[in-house]
Amino acid sequence: MKKIYLILILLIITGCNTKNKDKNIKENTNNYNPYSTENNYKIDKDLINKNDNINYGTIDEDIKYYSNIANDYKYVNVLLPKGYDKSKSYPVLYFIHGWGAKYDTHVHEDSYLHILYGNMLEKNLTVPMIIVGVDMYTDKLSEKDKKTDEELRYIYDKIVDDIPKNIMPLIEKKYSIKKGREYTAIAGVSQGGTESLAAGFKYLNLFGYIASIAPDPGVIPTEYYKGTYWNIPILDEFPKPTKDTIPKYLYLSVGTEDPWNVGVTKYYGETLAKLGYKNQTDEVEGFAHDSEFWRVSMYNFFNKIFK
C-alpha cells in the first residue's frame, strides 16, 4: 500500500514539473528579444536564388479597393505563405515600395522579396505571414503620368493614412489574420522607408514592428535637403513613447555607399533613441541604394518579427 502511495506522489510531482516546464517554454518564446543579436548582411546564396523544389506560396494579384483618400480605386498584391489555411490566422506585413515603383514591384513571382521570404520560410528562419504590397501613389490614377516629382512627393505621403483607413480593413475582411499591433508590421525602402517610419509612428497603436530601409528625409524636420520638397515633414516630431506604444522591434538600415540617405537614416535613429525608443540602426559597409541592400535588410527583418 505504501508503494502505491509513493508512486502516486511521484506521478503528481512529475506532472507538476512538466506543467511548469511547458509554461517556461511558452514564456521564453513570448520573451524573444530581437535586439539580442546583431543583424547579418552576408546571407547565403541559397536564400537569394529561386529553387523549383520550393513552394513559394501564392500571390493574389491586383486586388482592387476604393480609397477615400485617393478618391479613386487602387490595387494591392498579397503574398500568402505556403500552406495558407483559412481556418488558421496569420500576422501581416505591409510593404511599401520606393520612388517610381508600384504595389507589385516587390510582391510578384520572381521578385527578390517573394523568393527571399519563401526560402527563409522553407528553412524555418521566419514565420508564416501574409505580405501586402501597397501602392504609395494615392490619387487619381488617370492623372499619375502628369504629376511632377514635387507633386508625387505629397501624393506618396498620403499612403500613411491610406494603409490604416482603407487597406487594413480590406485585408482583415478578405483574409484570416491575427489582429493587434503585436501581429502587424510595416516596412518600406527608400521613399517607402520614409512612409513606413511615418505611418508606424503616426499609428503606433496599430504597428508593433517597423522597418525603415534607407529612408529619405521628410518624416520629421531635419537639416537634410532643407528648403526643398524632400524636407517637408509628415510629422512635426516623433511622439513620446509609452509602455503601450514602444515597438517590439524598430529597425533602420542604410549602406555606406548610399549617395543620399546615410545622414538622415542615422539622424532618425539617434533622435528616436534620445526619446527613449530602442532601435537597431545599422550603417552597413559597402552597400548602396538598391535592391541588393533591400534584400539583405529584409532578411534581417523577416528573421526577427512575429517570434
The cell numbers describing 205, all together, are 497603436
Contacts of 240 by beta carbon, 8 Å cutoff, 6+ apart: 275, 276
Q: What pLDDT does 31 receive?
A: 84
38 with 143: CB under 8 angstroms?
no
Q: What pLDDT does 224 receive?
A: 97
Per-residue pLDDT of the chain (307 residues; tens, 9 = 90+): 444 444 333 333 334 433 333 332 233 346 899 999 999 999 999 999 999 999 999 999 999 999 999 999 999 999 999 999 999 999 999 999 999 999 999 999 999 999 999 999 999 999 999 999 999 999 999 999 999 999 999 999 999 999 999 999 999 999 999 999 999 999 999 999 999 999 999 999 999 999 999 999 999 999 999 999 999 999 999 999 999 999 999 999 999 999 999 999 999 999 999 999 999 999 999 999 999 999 999 999 999 999 9
- E strands, 84-208, are 92-96, 130-134, 184-189
As to burial, measured by CB atoms within 10 angstroms (0-12 exposed, 13-18 middle, 19+ buried), residue 36 is exposed
Q: What pLDDT does 183 receive?
A: 98
As to burial, measured by CB atoms within 10 angstroms (0-12 exposed, 13-18 middle, 19+ buried), residue 14 is exposed
40 with 300: CB under 8 angstroms?
yes
d(CA 296, CA 121): 15
Contacts of 228 by beta carbon, 8 Å cutoff, 6+ apart: none
Work out the angle at residue 107's Cα, subtended by the Cα atoms of residues 175 and 154, and round it to the nearest 5 degrees.
95
In the block, residue with C-alpha cell 530602442? 278
